[in-house]
Structure 1
Amino acid sequence: MMEAVIIGVGLHPFGRFPGKSAMDMGAEAVRLTLADAGVTWPQIQGGFIGSLEVANPDAIVGRLGPTGLPLRGVFNGCATAGIAVSMAAKAIETGEHDLTIAIGMDKHPRGAFAAHPSVAGLPDWYGQTGMFLTTHFFGMKINRYMHDHGITERTLARVAAKNFRNASGNEKAWRRTPLSEEEILASPVLNHPLRQYMYCGPDEGAAAVVLCRADQAHKYTSTPVRVRASVMRSRRLGAFEVQSPSMPAGEPAPSPSVDASRAAYEAAGIGPEDVQIAQLQDTDAGSEIIHMAETGLCKDGEQERLIAEGATEPGGRLPVNTDGGLIGNGEPIGASGLRQIHEIVHQLRGTAGARQVPGAPRVGYTHLYGAPGVSAVTILST
């Protein structure tokens, strides 16, 4: 089986862009990606494109050139971009294409995602008044986890402060103003124990990735990044997920993040101890803490000490969300996971600029989690 490698990445800034459509942002991200890869749009043989708000994202060919390529729409909630990359890689691995592209774009209104029928079918006022079920779910989930594993509210604040601090050095991030732990702890409680500045927010942006056959990468770049694994898993019966009606008797099933991570490590032929830099779904500060353990990067309860010691800071032994994560960048659903890959690729290349972590990382990990229970993991290496 042929190995797929990433030869180009591109990212439209995340934030708010009045008067600019998601399609225009997507086309801009693609052009940046093609330039980074050193290829032209007519050379792309197939692709996968994801969006929540754009019903026909394949229409982006009208802005890039109607070359007749198969451009398939994908959607798996917050895991959408992970699936787009996985399918683009699979198309190369199976010999269907030599050059593929994964694209993500979205333009979300202010407020929770409740108003979108594709998410929950709830009325506008439900999300606009802060009553959307996912915010409650994440609050309940981390509250239980803190009780079970000795995590404090100070640790929640440390995670959020780290991600705001990391975003301040990222020219394409949305929230670039650092906030102290004290400012975060003083912000209003939205869903106990999570406060206003511990959540990410829906916003706008786009990103893309070009992949090719490993044996042809030398024609385009001297720094290809290997796709060692790209895996998605949905929830099993009994998992503690946002739409679970009740918890079963006995031990619940693990999160899909656990299943996807285990499958990815096996496919890549490595273990979590080999990961040197990670991008984890931080829909809220508590999610980053929980996902550290669910992805195997630490044991339950170790986060309290690791975060206090600075292990997840850019200079720590396992930097997490070095570009600010979702807390610093917001989440345009279709593009969010491609932003993660954009960051890891630059870190592995050594081209992350002021955000570059020391020690020349060689193995990077990206993780996505979406309601009501789906997870995507991609492992990259030099």
Structure 2
Amino acid sequence: MRRVAVVAASCSRAGARYTESQEDLLVEAGLAALAMAGVEPEDIDAAWFGCTTVSANHALLNFSLKLGYLPMTKVSNAGATGADAFIRAALAVASGEADVALVAGVEKRTDAGLADGLESDRVFSPAATGIEAMLRDLHPATFTSLYLRRYGAAFGLSLEEIGEALDALARRSRLRGALTPWSAIYGLEAGYSEDAGPVVAPPLRLGHCAPAFDGAAALVVTAEAWARQRGMPYAVLEGFGMVSGALEGRYSRRYAYVGLPELRTAAARAFSEAGVDGWEAVDHVQIFDRTVGDELLAYEDLGLVPEGRAVAAVLDGMFGVEARLQVNTDGGLLCSGFQAGASGVRQIAEAFVQLTGRAGPRQLPHVRRSVVATVGGTLGAATAVVSVFRSGA
């Protein structure tokens, strides 16, 4: 199997892009990625397109970028859509089926139309009965709220203590987002107000939740030898883990509802495949933060802190702006919005720019290895994708 490299990445500016279509956003991100890689549309051997909008199919990407006649696949896997699309492209390159692959994701969340908006947000089937029917249309923040309340009860933490940790994570992410050109809050002093706003689902407040924004992101993926021959900076995929759950909480009393076994398993597989022995060898991590509560719980699932210690670790500054291991250096989904088709691609894009020295004023010194953790779904039916990258420069 060939080593896989990311040689280019680009993201559209996140926000309520009312005057632009999905095609416009794909052109903005896609053409910039192709230009960075120094390739033309006809150089692409295959493409993977992430989007959860029901009415969008693979032709949307082809029409937008005029790629011509080539293999193209649409991927839809809830919040893990973009990361899933990347893994499929990476496997094609590793196997030799493609030398140059394009990965792109897009989502229109602010004006996609009522039918698509509801359909893409549903975790369970529209024909569900019983508990699935009750849970079907709950907002993602509600699910995380239930997890956080269960977590607090399990480890003797009050909602106020958890809320204090959530405030700290949100402040850190906003500071990072204000420095990120593709963030919705780029250039805003201090990255918005310190106030987290009204309560949405205790202990979560409005400022703890990723907004529903529009956006697109794109990556060019090649064999490492291809990138090395051209003398370009790149990020190498060292290993990955991808795991989906099976609603274990519905039939097993062992399921604790204080974390995601899918994320724990995916992380273990990714580190094993990459040959990385612990977080001491990692300099940077992008964690899926549909809410900062999801990020908080992920610290334990990823093995960054022992069970029950995430709140204390955050309040001690372990994941702050001065920490050794830097988290969500672009502000995360909190500052770019939850774009199911594009969010996982955006996370990888941030890992890429950090590993290749292209992150501008938010660039970290001496970044050698980055981990990207993405999650889609919830309540024991999640898909988790964890990827380990190192600098190829």
Shorter-chain TM-score above 0.5: yes
1:116-127 to 2 correspondence within 5 Å?
116-120=118-122
Tell me the amino acid that sits aligned with residue 18 of structure 1.
Answer: Y
The aligned runs of 1:30-109 (5 Å cut-off) are: 30-53=30-53, 54-109=55-110
Q: Is there any run of 5+ residues in structure 1 with no aligned partner, and where? A: 124-130, 240-245
d(CA) in 2 for partners of 1:29, 1:348: 19
1:297-316 matches, cutoff 5 A:
297-316=304-323
Higher mean C-alpha deviation, range 103-112 or range 82-91: 103-112
How far residue 165 of structure 1 moved from its aligned partner, in angstroms, is: 1.4
Deviation at 1:343, TM superposition (A): 0.8
The partner residue of 1:374 within 383, 388, 391 is: 383
- The question of whether the paired residues in 1 share the 8 Å contact of 2:172 and 2:320 is answered with yes
CA contact (8 A) 1:110 1:202 kept: no
Structure 2: stretches of 5+ with no match in the other structure: 128-136
Which residue identity lines up with residue 107 of structure 2 in the other structure?
D
Q: Give the CA deviation at 1:95.
A: 1.0
TM-score, normalised with respect to structure 2: 0.87
Cα 1:115–1:42 change in 2 (3 A) is closer
Q: 8 Å contact 2:52–2:77 — kept in the other structure?
A: no
Amino acid corresponding to residue 264 of structure 2 in structure 1: V
Q: Alpha carbon RMSD of aligned pairs, Å?
A: 2.3
1:148 CA drift (Å)? 2.5
Aligned equivalents of 1:97 and 1:286: distance in 2? 39
The answer to whether the 8 A contact 1:228-1:267 is kept is yes
* Mapping of residues 317-356 of structure 1, within 5 Å: 317-356=324-363
The aligned counterpart of 1:260 is 266
Aligned length: 365
TM-score by length of 1: 0.89
Per-residue Cα deviation, 1:135-183 (whole angstroms, up to 9, x for no partner): 22111101221333345321111011111111111121113442455x1
Distance 1:58 1:370, change over 3 A: same
Instruction: Give the Å deviation of 1:349.
Output: 1.2
**Rounded Cα–Cα distance in structure 2 between residues aligned with 1:374 and 1:3:** 24
The residue correspondences of 1:54-203 to structure 2 (distance < 5 A) are 54-109=55-110, 115-120=117-122, 132-149=138-155, 150=157, 152-176=162-186, 177=188, 178-179=191-192, 181=194, 183-184=195-196, 187-203=197-213
Aligned residue among 199, 224, 227 for 1:214: 224
Q: Which residue of 2 aligns with 1:229?
A: 239
Indicate the residue corresponding to 1:270 in structure 2: 276
CA distance in 1: counterparts of 2:65 and 2:116, whole angstroms: 32
Following superposition, which runs of at least 4 residues in structure 1 exceed 4 angstroms of deviation? 110-115, 251-254
CA drift at 1:371: 1.2
Distance 1:247 1:285, change over 3 A: farther
Which digits, 9 at most, give the CA deviation of each residue in 1:325-378, with x for residues without a partner?
1111101111101111111111111221111123x1111011111114111111
* Contact map agreement 1:26 1:60 (CA 8 A) in 2: yes
CA contact (8 A) 1:86 1:231 kept: no
Greater shift in the superposed pair: 315-324 or 296-305: 296-305
- Distance in 1 (CA, whole Å) between partners of 2:182 and 2:120 is 28
Checking the alignment, whether the CA contact within 8 Å between 1:7 and 1:221 is kept in structure 2 is no
Residue 34 (structure 1) shift: 0.8
Q: 1:307 to 1:110 in 2, by over 3 A?
A: farther
1:271 to partner: Cα distance = 3.1
SS of equivalent residue, structure 1 residue 17: coil
**In structure 2, C-alpha distance between the alignment counterparts of 1:114 and 1:42, rounded to whole Å:** 32
1:184-204: CA deviation from partner (whole Å, max 9, x where unpaired): 2xx211111111111111111
Quick one: distance in 2 between partners of 1:25 and 1:180? 28
